[in-house]
A and B are shown apart, each in its own frame.
Chain A
Amino acid sequence: MIALIDYGAGNLTSVRKGFAAAGADLYTPATPADLRDATGIVVPGVGHFAATAALDAGWRGAITSALGRGAKLFGICLGQQWLFQGSDEDPDVPGLGIIAGRCRRLPPTLKVPHVGWNSLDIRRPSRLLAGIAPGTQAYFTHSYAADVTPEAVAVTTHAAPFASVVETDQVFGVQFHPEKSAAAGVQMLRNFVSLCSPSA
């Protein structure tokens, strides 16, 4: 069972359809307790970092407990930013902090927001990116982005390099929208679904 957390940051129709194409029917937990049987948790989101404040202590505790049971966590766009310690977009709102590093505004030497297709510079082997060709492009729409930390398996550059894909043993994140990144994006969703299956 893979949970899609709806904390009010954007419409989830496209994420849901993307996962449906990847073979998974995601459920939406009404309360943190509904994460008890989740083998995978997707934290989506678009918009301002302040919106992640809705992921309060209850959610953070339930997500941390799920990780303790071996569940996988997947942050998409704002959801990936939330995996880090925080964002300059709203310094008062802490991120989950599972990855050491921060999110910063992209430098204004190019147009910001960064909107459109940009390439993934894949730096090391990744389970989330299994089957993804080097130089594959993905669809981005954001103004803030995460530091390139050791967890970055792919880096993208728009005025400055940033972590476009992060991965640890159980935690995954993408700054772009896999559900809008054509066949390659659906492949990544499929990879995550496989990682969440009990046999994985």
Chain B
Amino acid sequence: MLSKRLIACLDVRNGCVVKGVQFEGLRNAGDPAALARRYNLEGIDELVILDVTATLESRQALADTIHAVSRELFIPLAVGGGIRSLDDAEAAIEAGADKVSVNSAALIDPALITRLAARYGSQAIVVAIDAKRAGGRFDVFSRSGSTGTGREAVEWAKQAEECGAGEILLTSIDQDGTREGFDCELTAAVSTAVSIPVIASGGAGTFQHFLDVFTAGRADAALAASVFHYSEHAVSELKQFLDSNGVPVRLQPV
């Protein structure tokens, strides 16, 4: 049976992980490769490197980071933040990314999704959607959640799939950073409307939140950052918890 995936997000700026990490024994907590290595040992299923600055100056640092992580970790690696063109995607993929995540640029030019998919295959193209509740619907925002787009999340996800997206990375702006749980209603609405996998993001705080988003939220994967930093064994303990609650996960071979 297909496992539900746990994806760790590394927010990086100029080659360093931004959010605090408290693993003991990690020689350099800000080193993305060291953190990625740690997550890999714990059994994380996939990594996302998010360039939170996405400035021209940070591009080389990002490529170096991708290269360092992909050289020793053999799990899928997605890269997002400031991917606006085929050239941006090429730089990330040549450095060792398996997937690129596009957000604002795809909202401006949905055909970018098609061009990227034609070049690298749909499996390499993740469309990130940042959505916020507005009455009975979910509005899509761009530019890190700062700008309204007039689009609705379910409709935009369907359009992205038609354009050639391979996966949807769906972030709830309302829940992001709250640690109060994923927006299961939003996730289920999008996940049932498309046939491509939906990665839920925003709000992870407890193990129960992951169980909720994999059941009520119909998520195919769940992404988190800081929750995995709480303890050294968060990933493996979370997987044991999900497994004991009937959610299929990839357990480490003994």
Q: Which of B45, B93, B220 touches A11 (beta carbons < 8 Å)? A: B93
Q: Does B58 contact A (CB under 8 A)?
A: no
Distance in angstroms between the alpha carbons of A184 and B253 in the assembled complex: 9
User: Are A11 and B94 interface neighbours, CB within 8 A?
Assistant: yes
Q: Does A7 contact B (CB under 8 A)?
A: no
User: Are B74 and A186 interface neighbours, CB within 8 A?
Assistant: yes
Decide yes or no: A117 and B94 within 8 Å by CB, A112-B195, A137-B3 being known contacts: no
User: Are A17 and B220 interface neighbours, CB within 8 A?
Assistant: no
A183 to chain B, nearest CB (A): 7
Q: Nearest residue in B to A21 (C-beta to C-beta)?
A: B74
Q: Which of A10, A17, A139 touches B121 (beta carbons < 8 Å)? A: A10
User: Are A10 and B74 interface neighbours, CB within 8 A?
Assistant: no
Residues of chain A whose beta carbon lies under 8 Å from any beta carbon of chain B? 9-11, 13-14, 17-18, 21, 46-47, 108, 110-119, 133, 135-137, 139, 141-142, 157-158, 179-186
Residues of chain B whose beta carbon lies under 8 Å from any beta carbon of chain A? 1-5, 40, 45, 70-72, 74-76, 93-96, 98, 120-124, 166-167, 195-197, 220-221, 250, 253
Distance in angstroms between the alpha carbons of A113 and B166 in the assembled complex: 8
**Complex contacts, A142 vs chain B, CB 8 Å:** 123
Q: Nearest residue in B to A110 (C-beta to C-beta)?
A: B2
Distance in angstroms between the alpha carbons of A119 and B40 in the assembled complex: 18
User: Are B220 and A116 interface neighbours, CB within 8 A?
Assistant: yes
User: Are B120 and A11 interface neighbours, CB within 8 A?
Assistant: yes
Q: Nearest residue in A to B253 (C-beta to C-beta)?
A: A133
Decide yes or no: A113 and B122 within 8 Å by CB, A118-B1, A180-B98 being known contacts: yes
Distance in angstroms between the alpha carbons of A182 and B38 in the assembled complex: 13
Distance in angstroms between the alpha carbons of A74 and B181 in the assembled complex: 44
**Complex contacts, B70 vs chain A, CB 8 Å:** 13-14, 17
Q: Nearest residue in B to A179 (C-beta to C-beta)?
A: B74
Q: Nearest residue in B to A11 (C-beta to C-beta)?
A: B93
Q: What would be 13 A-B contacts, judged by CB atoms less than 8 Å apart? A: A10-B120, A17-B71, A17-B74, A113-B123, A116-B220, A117-B2, A117-B3, A117-B45, A119-B1, A133-B253, A158-B2, A180-B74, A182-B40
Distance in angstroms between the alpha carbons of A108 and B76 in the assembled complex: 24
